[in-house]
Amino acid sequence: MTTREKRWAVADLPSLTGRTIVVTGASSGLGTVTARELAHAGAHVVLAVRDLARGSSVAATLDGSTEVRHLDLADLSSVRRFAAEWNGPLDVLVNNAGVMAIPEARTVDGFEMQFGTNHLGPFALTNLLLPHITDRVVTVASNAHRRPGVDIHFDDINFSNSYSPWRAYQQSKLANLLFTRELQRRLTAAGSPVTAHAAHPGYAATNLQGRSGGAVQRVVLAITNRFLAQSDRMGALPTLYAATQALPGGSYTGPDRRGETRGHPAPAQLSPQARDDIRARRLWELSEVLTSVRFPRPRSGGSAA
């Protein structure tokens, strides 16, 4: 038996008593697991979901303090309403909700659905809630952003000319990481103690793949889920780690084995594009124009996990 460092697991979660955490997309998949473990550790968890009935059913199964609020990230009016109704401090925002490699569609506001749901919705939500946030923002990304050729299509951000489900998904996940990078830069410049982090689940078996693409693609993903994917409980570990551990701002966490597809939380790799400050600022400025939401003055104080 080696003396290797102990690998972080759910059992290592600290007590979160007295802390309030919002988890978007908490009515299924990784969001449910994330909400369950945070609530079990003592946090008051707000399940931000599109389907209130489904969210309430999930909340009823959780052990701890929870509430359910409506949020549709594909509708900026819903995002604004959620933020406007928030009162009091918010320790942690977990931007978990997302869609993956779906057929071409548009959000309520006319944006390509994956870019709108996975990036613009969380971008607006984070900035609107930022005056309330005391600790950190965690955004769930994907190692799909490292695939060859993935970039931000600034000349056709909505894939209006030639839509590719996977390219659109990969763009949205790269956008998550550029958002985290620029958010941290702005927080640091403002002298805020709030930090921004990203995490990815590796290849985890969730219902996200079940909503991807056509019938053939769903069958292929179901097979790979069964034989190659790790459990959703393991897939949620990097997010839980990023939401609760002492980490430097701008951190990126993923699984530590098999090319970051499975395992326990560890520092994850960023593509050169995801480390590009010019891309990050350009995307931020474009996102402000598209959402009409700007970086606010964040809280001047707060507590760290």
3-state SS, 176-239, equals HHHHHHHHHHHHHHCCCCCEEEEECCCCECCCCHHHCCCHHHHHHHHHHHHHHCECHHHHCHHH
Domain-embedded: residue 248: yes
Residue 169 a catalytic site member: yes
- Is residue 190 one of the residues assigned to a domain? yes
Q: How far is CA 88 from CA 20, 24, 134, 193, in A?
A: 10, 18, 10, 17
What are the strands of the beta sheet with 195-199, ordered from one edge?
A: 65-70, 44-49, 20-24, 90-95, 133-140, 195-199, 252-257, 262-267
pLDDT at residue 209, as a whole number: 45
222 belongs to a structural domain: no
> Quick one: pLDDT at residue 139?
98
Q: What are phi and psi of 219, to 5 degrees?
A: -65, -45
Residue 215 domain-assigned (yes or no): no
Structurally, the chain folds into a number of domains equal to: 1
The pLDDT value given to residue 226: 47
The whole-model pTM stands at 0.90
Instruction: Specify if 228 maps to a domain.
Output: no
Q: Would you say residue 276 lies in a domain?
A: yes
Is 41 inside any structural domain?
yes
User: Which residue in 10, 70, 9 sits closest to 40, CA to CA?
Assistant: 10
Encode pLDDT of 62-86 as tens digits: 999 999 999 999 999 999 999 999 9
Q: What is the pLDDT of residue 6?
A: 81
Tell me, what's the pLDDT at 223? 43
Q: Which of 163, 169, 203, 241 is catalytic?
A: 169
User: Rounded distance, CA 7 to CA 248, Å?
Assistant: 19
Structure tokens at 73: 């990230």
Q: What is the CATH number of the domain that holds 187?
A: 3.40.50.720
Q: What range defines the domain where residue 163 resides?
A: 17-203+233-291
Q: Give the per-residue pLDDT at 269.
A: 98
Question: What's the confidence (pLDDT) of residue 70?
Answer: 98
Per-residue pLDDT at 1: 32
Determine, yes or no, domain membership for 300: no
Q: What is the pLDDT of residue 213?
A: 55
The CA–CA distances, whole Å, from 82 to 39, 72, 78 equal 21, 9, 6
Residue ranges in the chain modelled with pLDDT below 70: 1-5, 205-229, 299-305
Residue type, 152: I
The predicted structure's pLDDT at residue 214: 57
